[in-house]
Amino acid sequence: MRLLQLAFVVALASGLAAILIYITGVSNTDGSFHLSSEDLKALKSLQSHFQKCVMVLYVFESNNSSDVVYTMQNTNGLGLQAVAGRDICEVSLKFPSDTIPKWKDPKTGELEGVSYDFNLCEAVATWEQVRNSTTILTREFIDALPNGWEEYAWRRINKGVLLNQCKNRTLCMEKLSLVLPDRPPYKPRQFGRCAVIGNSGDLLKTKFVKEIDNYDVVIRENGAPIEKFTEYVGTKSTFRLLNRGSAKALDKVAELYDKGKEVLIVKTTIHDIMNKMIREIPILNPVYLMLGASFGSAAKGTGLKALEFALSICDTVDMYGFTVDPGYKEWTRYFSESRQGHTPLHGRAYYQMMECLGLIKIHSPMRADPNRIVKWVPSHSLITAARIASERLLRRVGAGSSNPLSACSIIGKQQRGKSAVVLSSRKACIEHNKYVRGTTMYPLEHNPGHGLLCTVPST
């Protein structure tokens, strides 16, 4: 009897193995998922450039022997070390051995680590998609999304569960109406040079006012004040990204910038209290909800979302006030004491990964020179080749296609209606609009294959 049972188990295991082999074979019949020699070359070159950017290796031969000697020099001032992982995409960023972690996981009580693993292929593929997408939630998006009002819209409204998944569509539309433009108010590459200003106390180490005020667009976070700190943080403010707590104090946030009306971008949900303030106070600032991309296990927080928003509308993005340098030991805000866990090391490692992928440029007291050149950043052509290879490797929607609309999982017609803001006529913006044939691209959060929802011109 036991022999029969054993034989059955062996046969079952063999059958499952055969099925897995068959499925694997079928799934790999599409050549687009196979990496060519050019793809492999691009990904290897990306990994090499990235490691050299983080910590440059100098190679020379010793005079006394034939041994090759390697030396490291921190040319970019990052302070980290990049170590290749198990495959062509993985990399670990390690903080210096004297780094003292201070943030504890509220669930486990464990101190955060000083080494973080990242996937360069996922980063390149996702961020290049962000640069072609709009990150403002619109009525056009919800209408084009299958069952958008029933299955999505209610998630963007506080107490959404009580709305019974927007079966009362009129009520849901009323709650979202004050923050829901018909069409995207901003387009990719609409602005040139943009700066994202964090809230770290390291801003008080350098007077950045002239430098910051020289940007085309300045993006700030939450309730960070400008008055009394202008010589350090500048006077200009174009957008302000808000988390849940700051959004509840919308009236106070709207008063922070008295020289003009910032555009307020809420990255969570619309609240009844926000609706009431917009109507009754009233809040004269434009207020929108952010439609963000999914970064998986990447660093979270308002800072990352502010950079995501900037990269979706700007040609170049610089960041200030994020205390990214491991050698900086003070953990405060420029206007108050820091909250516990406000600036975890994970986020800092992620920002430095972004710099060495050419997405942003970091400014800090340890790197205060505005003309600092970040060495070994991958070229545009290398990033393009690595993106195509990464999309194939990750089996992204439309991988390897030269058609910009190939990543569109959902396609709908554009709604008639005016954008909330008149678009600028920057050459880069116009060229991008021609490239995508006038299509508006929206990221589909948690969508398999990271597909896009696209709306095409109605004519």
Q: What local confidence, expressed as pLDDT, does residue 68 receive?
A: 54
Report d(CA 159, CA 163) in Å as an integer. 7
Q: Are 363 and 318 in contact (CB under 8 A)?
A: yes
Predicted confidence band of residue 340 (pLDDT cuts 50, 70, 90) = low
Judge whether 279 lies within some domain.
yes
Q: What local confidence, expressed as pLDDT, does residue 23 receive?
A: 32
Q: Is the pLDDT of residue 33 over 80?
A: no
Amino acid at residue number 447: N
Our CA dihedral for 316, 131, 139, 419, rounded to 10 degrees, sits at 40
Q: Are 440 and 457 in contact (CB under 8 A)?
A: no
Report d(CA 189, CA 456) in Å as an integer. 19
Judge whether 174 lies within some domain.
yes
Residue 120: which of 383, 416, 376 has the closest Cα?
Answer: 383
Q: Tell which wins on pLDDT, 2 or 123.
A: 123
Structure tokens at 159: 């107490």
How far lies 381's CA from each of 47, 106, 183, 189, in Å? Answer: 15, 43, 32, 18
Write out pLDDT tens, residues 388-440.
Answer: 999 999 999 999 888 989 999 999 999 776 654 545 678 999 999 999 999 99
- Output the domain CATH number for residue 343: 3.90.1480.20
Q: How many Cα atoms are found within 13 Å in the side-chain-facing hemisphere of 116? A: 22
Q: Which range, of 264-273, 350-359, 413-422, averages the lowest pLDDT?
A: 413-422
Judge whether 271 lies within some domain.
yes
Q: Tell which wins on pLDDT, 334 or 281.
A: 281
**What are the b/e assignments for 239-267, b being 16+ CB within 10 Å?**
bbbbbeebbbebbebbebbeeeebbbbbb
H helix runs in 55-167, sequence order: 120-130, 139-144, 148-151
Judge whether 28 lies within some domain.
no
Q: What local confidence, expressed as pLDDT, does residue 345 receive?
A: 83
Residue 140: which of 411, 407, 447, 397 has the closest Cα?
Answer: 411
What percent of the chain lies above the pLDDT cut of 90? 49
Amino acid at residue number 226: I
Q: Residue 254: give the domain boundaries.
A: 129-375
Judge whether 95 lies within some domain.
no
Judge whether 242 lies within some domain.
yes
Q: Is the pLDDT of residue 34 over 90?
A: no
How far lies 144's CA from each of 363, 396, 412, 456, in Å? Answer: 40, 21, 6, 11
Q: Helix (H, G, I), strand (E, B), or coil: what is residue 346?
A: helix
Is the alpha carbon torsion for 346, 352, 354, 357 positive or negative?
negative
Judge whether 110 lies within some domain.
no
Report d(CA 51, CA 378) in Å as an integer. 11
The partner residues of 61 in beta bridges, in order of sequence, read 68
Structure tokens at 216: 């085309």
Q: Is the pLDDT of residue 299 over 70?
A: no
Number of structural domains in the chain: 1
Q: What local confidence, expressed as pLDDT, does residue 65 receive?
A: 56
What percent of the chain lies above the pLDDT cut of 70? 81
Structure tokens at 62: 């010793």
Judge whether 257 lies within some domain.
yes
What mean pLDDT is reported for the chain?
Answer: 83
